[in-house]
Amino acid sequence: MEKVLIFGHKSPDTDSICSSLVTETLAKHYGLDAEAVRLGELNKETEYILNHLGVEAPRKIGEVVEGQKVILVDHNEKEQSVDGREKAEVMGVIDHHRIASFETISPLYYMAKPYGCTSTLLYEIFRRENIEIDKQTAMLMLSAIISDTLLLKSPTCTEKDKEAYSELEKIAEVNAEEYGLEMLKAGTDLSMYSAEEVINLDAKEFSEKGKKLVIAQVNTADINDVFARKEELAFAMEKEISDKKLDVYMLLVTDIINTNSKAIVLGNDREVVEKAFNKKIDENDSMFLEGVVSRKKQVAPPILETL
């Protein structure tokens, strides 16, 4: 039997990596020859988690070959997926995002729910199908939920995420809040990254009405730490804009302690961001967004609707 590749989005975050690994476990339970892979480098947070659990990182792949069977987790949009996906056969998708630029020739398994985290959907599958959850699998799912919901504080967090979090905390026999804070803090250490790397740690590309935009996000315990590097970050963003012919590049710097964000916004069409939030970009190319922590729920929808 051909091997099925399972992966999350480009610039993988913790949910993309952990949910790929957990989906591999699920797929193997059903007798599939499956392998979790990744489309980019691990971020510091995910590195911390895998080290902590003694789990090996999935193999990195560049593109897929003709006819490759794949399962997508935590994404569906073409721009966020593997290079060459149009040649692959998508067997299934497990996701919690909007659906866009996704198209197949044949029927497939597609499971999406508007939850805070892909791993919450996976948790439901384990429960429903009565599959035992071992400690390591519980920790992977718990880590993904902590990451995507910022310890249940993000507005994307649903009751279902909270339920899964509590249950997984019990199975993993861990203090989720203590572990979660360590994990999130590990992810905010940007000191070893170049500006190019920082803006690409968790960058998602969107296409809408012929416009191409990137909304990137980094977490921090102190917004000023990141803005101390504003000039080099802006320089790296301008380079991406010109290399990838982008209309807008927005970098969300999210304070995970106080749950606010400050964004750097560049690009010829950046007034779309001003319209979306009814707020001016200041002379420092920046915009403070009170209470905003979720790209998926609070940032992408108003911008895409304004377009």
Shortest approach of a second copy to residue 304 CB, angstroms? 6
Of 106 and 278, CB closest to a second copy: 106
Residue with tokens 């390591």: 136
**Does residue 151 contact residue 108 with C-beta atoms inside 8 Å?**
no
Shortest approach of a second copy to residue 76 CB, angstroms? 9
As beta bridge partners, residue 4 has 34, 69
Distance CA 108, CA 68 (A): 15
Shortest approach of a second copy to residue 153 CB, angstroms? 18
Shortest approach of a second copy to residue 278 CB, angstroms? 18
Residues within the interface to a second copy (CB under 8 A): 96-115, 128, 296, 301, 304-305
Of 15 and 240, CB closest to a second copy: 15
Shortest approach of a second copy to residue 93 CB, angstroms? 8
Of 60 and 87, CB closest to a second copy: 87
Order of strands across the sheet with 248-255?
203-208, 211-220, 248-255, 260-266, 286-289
Of 54 and 107, CB closest to a second copy: 107
Q: Give the three-state DSSP class for 183.
A: helix
Distance CA 293, CA 300 (A): 11
As beta bridge partners, residue 59 has 37
Distance CA 268, CA 225 (A): 27
Please, which residues have CB within 8 angstroms of residue 175's CB and are 6 or more apart in sequence? 169
Of 88 and 236, CB closest to a second copy: 88
Shortest approach of a second copy to residue 101 CB, angstroms? 7
**Does residue 61 contact residue 86 with C-beta atoms inside 8 Å?**
no
How many Cβ atoms are within 10 Å of 185's Cβ, its own excluded? 17
Of 286 and 294, CB closest to a second copy: 294
Closest CA to 102 of 124, 82, 125, 119: 82
